[in-house]
Amino acid sequence: MFISTAWAQGGGAAGGGLFEAIIPLVLIFAVFYFLLIRPQQKKVKMHREMLGNVRRGDRVITGGGIFGTVTKVVNDNELVVQIAEAVKVRIARGTIAEVVSKTEPARPEKAEKAEKAEKAEKSEKSEKSSSDVAAS
């Protein structure tokens, strides 16, 4: 008697529907891309570059935490690393975690000889020009 019957209201319009449901997913993906995926890709690229530039004489740390010096580059995938005096191990290039110190690349002998020859020619020319000036 005092209680009236409650009727369910007819629901209003559901809004934008599919468009409004996709926007949060796109935003979440964009945040993940810029905060997680992209920095990881840069880090992997730098590590791959570092592994490609490893040469004899470099001090390295392996993935297991072993310090050593590269004594020989066997091929694109293998290195020989000296971890103690008279102890050399053959490791996969991918197991190198970090290069501690780099060595300068060895200069080819031909380039050194050519550079010395150029310096000698320049000094001879400067001596000739100075002697010509003094003779005048």
Domain-embedded: residue 31: yes
**For all residues of the chain together, what is the average pLDDT?**
82
Q: What is the pLDDT of residue 42?
A: 95
Task: Please report the pLDDT score of residue 15 as a whole number.
Answer: 57
Q: What is the pLDDT of residue 107?
A: 61
pLDDT at position 13: 54
- State how far the Cα of 100 lies from the Cα of 67, in Å rounded to an integer: 9
Tens digits of residue pLDDT in 67-78: 999 999 999 899
**126: in domain:** no
The count of domains in the chain is 1
Q: State yes or no: pLDDT of 92 exceeds 80.
A: yes
- Please report whether residue 36 resides in a domain: yes
List the domain range (segments joined by +) for residue 40: 21-101
In a domain, 125, yes or no: no
More confident call, 36 vs 123: 36
Q: What are phi and psi of 49, to 5 degrees?
A: -65, -45
Please check whether residue 39 lies inside any domain of the structure: yes
Task: Please report the pLDDT score of residue 85 as a whole number.
Answer: 93
- Coil/strand/helix, residue 47: helix
Higher pLDDT, 10 or 126: 126
Residue 48 maps to a domain: yes
Q: Give domain status of residue 92, yes or no.
A: yes
Q: Assess contact for 83 and 66: CB atoms under 8 A.
A: yes
pTM exceeds 0.75, yes or no: no
108 versus 25: the higher-pLDDT residue is: 25
Q: Kindly state whether residue 80 falls inside one of the protein's structural domains.
A: yes
Buried b (16+ CB within 10 A) or exposed e, 20-38: eeeeeeeeeeeeeeeeeee
Higher pLDDT, 13 or 91: 91
CATH code for position 37: 2.30.30
Q: Phi and psi (nearest 5°) for 46? A: -65, -40
8: exposed, middle or buried (Cβ count in 10 Å: 0-12, 13-18, 19+): exposed
Instruction: Report the percentage of the chain scoring pLDDT > 90.
Output: 55
For residues 91 and 80, what is the distance between their CA atoms, to the nearest angstrom? Answer: 6
